[in-house]
Amino acid sequence: MIVFRIATIALAVLAALACGSSSPPSSGTSHAGSSPGMSSAMPGMNMGGQGNGLASSVDGFTFASSISTLAPGTAQDYRFRIMGQAGRPHTTFSVDQTKLMHFYAIRADLTGYRHLHPSMASDGTWSTALPLKDPGPYRVFASFIAKDSAGKDHPLVLSRELMVPGSYQPVSLPPPSESAEVDGYLLTLQGQMMHGMSMPFTVRVTRGGQPVADLEPYLDTYAHVTAFRSPNLAFTHLHPEEKAQAGGHGGPQLTFDSELPEAGDYRLFVQFQTQGQLHTGTLTVRAG
């Protein structure tokens, strides 16, 4: 389980006594839906309190694609559009962490994680090569900031179901853990995660027992963390407090602000870069 600081526990207890039990976030700029083999999702909000990402349409913006299946293994081209409030393909977006579009794929058992950055054609069609090697039900997410005709930004996460045909053999979710190894690096988490309230946590990066302080900028930060809830795949992007400096380095300890849409078990995907190589560590955490 995650190591808890005494002060953090005390804060959580006081907050719980003051607020009582928290209910799931309401709809609005939010997302709800269901996937094959997954439970129905509840409306919520993300990206810093704006949703669980499980709807295909929010605020008049719709994630539209004619592709519902992809063959396993081959990196096939996945194409989609964001339909705007006027019912036409939307083409005006604001940059979010150095990209106009962040695209994610995850299988129903929280394996097969992909984080990609599609390119957009002049007609508003986004495309990316999407390699999904294992059969089963997936959900794909489009995370973006749409700018409307009045210049207002709409930060949204929308999603759709995607099936990879074949024999689906789900993998059991690993138990909660405070640490994970990836490519010779050890990631250690400290802090408590709660649903419905913002709680800080830290990720410490070491290698061979020594602190790692040469983390390179990746998407405007020194680490990128995405969380998906089991079993409904509710989406949360956890933002680091420190912004990366051009040519600078980060680590060994990074502080994040977490606000999870629902209680339960989440699979965290921690991405960081060293010497030009991207690493992705995975951990299971439990949110109260």
What ranges do the domains of the chain cover?
6-13+173-287, 57-164
What's the CATH superfamily of 6-13+173-287? Answer: Macroglobulin (MG2) domain (2.60.40.1930)
Strands 185-191 and 153-164: unpaired
Measure CA 51 to chain center: 11
- Backbone φ and ψ for 8, nearest 5 degrees, come out as -65, -40
pLDDT tens per residue, range 125-174: 999 999 999 999 999 999 999 999 999 999 999 999 999 999 999 999 99
State mean pLDDT over 209-219.
96
Q: Residue 51: which pLDDT band, with cuts at 50, 70 and 90?
A: low
pLDDT tens string 92-134: 999 999 999 999 999 999 999 999 999 999 999 999 999 999 9
Nearest C-alpha neighbor of 260 from the set 199, 203, 212, 211: 199
Which is more confidently placed, 283 or 44? Answer: 283
Give CA separation, 1 vs 78, 174, 176, 203, 236, in Å: 37, 11, 5, 14, 20
CATH topology of 6-13+173-287 equal to that of 57-164? yes
pTM for the full predicted model: 0.82
150 token code pair: 């009045």
The predicted-structure confidence for 234-259, as pLDDT tens digits, reads as follows: 999 887 788 898 889 999 999 998 88
pLDDT score at 89: 98
Instruction: Report pLDDT for 124.
Output: 97
| Rounded distance between C-alpha atoms, residue 30 and residue 101, angstroms | 18
Give percent of the chain above pLDDT 70: 82
CATH of domain 57-164: 2.60.40.1220
Regarding beta strands 264-274 and 277-287, do their DSSP bridges make them parallel or antiparallel, or are they unpaired?
antiparallel
